[in-house]
Amino acid sequence: MSNIHVIAHTHWDQEWYFTLQDSNILASWNFADVIRTLEQNPAYTCYHFDGQTAVVEDFLAVNPQYCERLKQLVADRRLFIGPWYTQTDTYNVHGESIIRNLKYGILSARKLGHAMMVGYLPDTFGHNSQLPTLLRGCNLDNIVFWRGINHDTQVEKSQFIWQAPSGAQVIACAMPFGYGAAKNIRADDAHLHDKIFPIVNHIRQRSGLDDLLLPCGGDQVNIDPHLPEILRIASVCSPEGDRFQISSLEAYIDRLRQQASGYDRWQGELKSPRYTRIHKTIGSVRYDIKKKNYDVEQFLLGKLEPTIALARYQGIEVNVQWVDQIWKNLLRNHAHDSIGGCNSDATNRDILHRLEQTEQLSHSLWNLVVKELATASCEEGDLFVINPQRHRLVGHYQSHII
């Protein structure tokens, strides 16, 4: 007999073979249904908005009438959002961008009542070896994922300790059937015995624990108001006497923490195609998107932010909310499908345009900050030189003045 933690959720790609505009229209209907269902049915104890907050911000921007109701559900731990701002890629973006993704996701979720502190990456196309360090740096001690594991050559069980080269460790939980294991679950006998119960038995064998994770959701799916009753019937019909219950990722991670002393250990990346595609070739497609993203990241991290720090040190007032907006614009392009470029042509045009707008904002803000710095620091005719590096520069440097 096992406790089956059923994770009711939707996996919400904001853009893919459809555009962001398509996604936002559908979200207006689906997310409103989620709020109403949770309010009307106490047996539906909780639901997950895919571990991100950008989708929630977009929903509230055109549906402000739901804001207070959503905040109440989030505060009551019945609707889980965050900790990511967008469902990031981990190979094609800067490591600092992954940190900022968590920063803005956690801050945004906390403003709405609570940030789910689970490193949930259900569809990311592999995970770089430094990720435990980045997660730990943002006070996350765990990751729940699907793609990239190989139980034949890495670790035998679905839960294990993942260690980064730095020595940082997180509890890792691989989902054997991905985030859609129990998608569209039904109460009829054939469906339960032919599909759901065999899936649970496979998860049981892979885990070896009495607490098992069963994701119940899928791409852009809406909430099923009948799920509590379906799970009651599944519990009654289970040949193993399993107890199916709607649970949360936070609750499941708590159970894993209590049993972590005997877990196997893995150090290295998670990018094996053993059980599911990791779309390795997306690293070489849509060079225009990859190059523009790199340019924006380098300018933002190497020029804009250091220059703003110098200006504020000199007492110059800078509206840093523009920096937040620039980062959020950039992070919207870092979702795994978006930065991968594995999208429709219309979506890729949107992504490239957003990156160009982000670049324009970054350069415009930098130009104004440099002007303010020069005005405060120089006399007429002086040559103003900025060192944006984190260390003192000593030596001879050549510059051309036109």
Using an 8 Å Cβ cutoff, are 209 and 159 in contact? yes
Residue in this structure with the two tokens 């890495």, named with its chain if needed: 154
Length in residues, the chain: 402
Backbone angles phi, psi at 141, to 5 degrees: -110, 25
Distance CA 8, CA 228 (A): 10
Residue type, 249: L
Backbone angles phi, psi at 192, to 5 degrees: -65, -45
Q: Is 188 a catalytic residue?
A: no
Kindly name the residue from 50, 58, 89, 123 that is annotated as catalytic.
123
Burial class (CB in 10 A: 0-12, 13-18, 19+), 380: exposed
Using an 8 Å Cβ cutoff, are 161 and 270 in contact? no
Dihedral, 392, 393, 399, 402 alpha carbons, nearest 10:
10
- Who's near 31: CB < 8 A, 6+ residues apart? 49, 55, 56, 59, 63, 66
**Residue 338: which H helix or E strand, with range?**
helix 336-340
- Who's near 59: CB < 8 A, 6+ residues apart? 24, 27, 28, 31, 66
Distance CA 185, CA 177 (A): 14
Residue type, 158: S
Strands 169-174, 159-163: pairing kind: antiparallel
Using an 8 Å Cβ cutoff, are 100 and 328 in contact? no
Backbone angles phi, psi at 68, to 5 degrees: -65, -35
Distance CA 104, CA 125 (A): 22
CA distances, 329 to each of 1, 85, 100, 351 (Å): 47, 11, 12, 10
Smallest CA-to-CA distance from 14 within 85, 83, 78 is with: 85
For the annotated catalytic residues, the residue numbers are: 123
